[in-house]
Amino acid sequence: MNTRIYVACMAIALAAGSVAARAQSSAPVQYSKAELNQMKQEAQTNRQYEALAKYFRSRQQDFEQQAQTEKAEWERRSQNVTGPAAKYPRPVDSAKNLYEYYAYEAQQMNHEAAYYESQETAHGESLASSAK
C-alpha cells in the first residue's frame, strides 16, 4: 500500500517537474488540443492564466507573421493577374485566402490571450482583496 502511494507521488512529482520545465523554456510550447482544453478547464491560479495567455500571444505572433508573408505573396501575385477567363482559384485568390485565414486566426488568438490576461488580473485582485 505504501509503495503504491510512493510510486503515485513520484509520478506526480515528475509530471509537475516536466510541466514546469516546459513553461520555463524560451522556445514556444506547443500543446495538443486535448492538453489545451484540459489547461483551460483546470486554470485557477495566476500562473495557469499567465501560461495560457503567453501561449495564445505566441500563437498570435506566429499567425501574424504568416499573414504578413501571405500578404506579400498576395501583392506579388496580384501583379500577374490574367484576364477574366482565368480559372478559379487563381494563385492570387489562394494567397488572399491564406492571408485572410492567418489574419483571422491571429485575431482569435488575440481574443483568447486578452481573456486569460484579464482572468489573471481579476484573480490577482480577488486574492489581494481576500487577504485583507
DSSP category for residue 130? H
Domain boundaries, given as residue ranges, for the chain: 31-131
C-alpha cell at 131: 487577504
Q: Which amino acid is at 61?
A: Q
8 A C-beta contact, residue 70 and residue 102: yes
| Region 73-92 average pLDDT | 82
Assess whether pLDDT exceeds 60 at residue 8. Answer: no
Q: What is the CA radius of gyration of the chain?
A: 22
pLDDT number for residue 91: 86
Q: What is the mean pLDDT of the chain?
A: 81
Q: In the structure, what pLDDT confidence band is assigned to residue 50 with cuts at 50, 70 and 90? A: very high
Burial class (CB in 10 A: 0-12, 13-18, 19+), 98: middle
Q: Which residue has the higher pLDDT, 66 or 91?
A: 66
CA–CA dist 61, 118 (Å, integer) = 19
Q: In the structure, what pLDDT confidence band is assigned to residue 122 with cuts at 50, 70 and 90? A: confident
Q: What is the pTM of this model?
A: 0.69
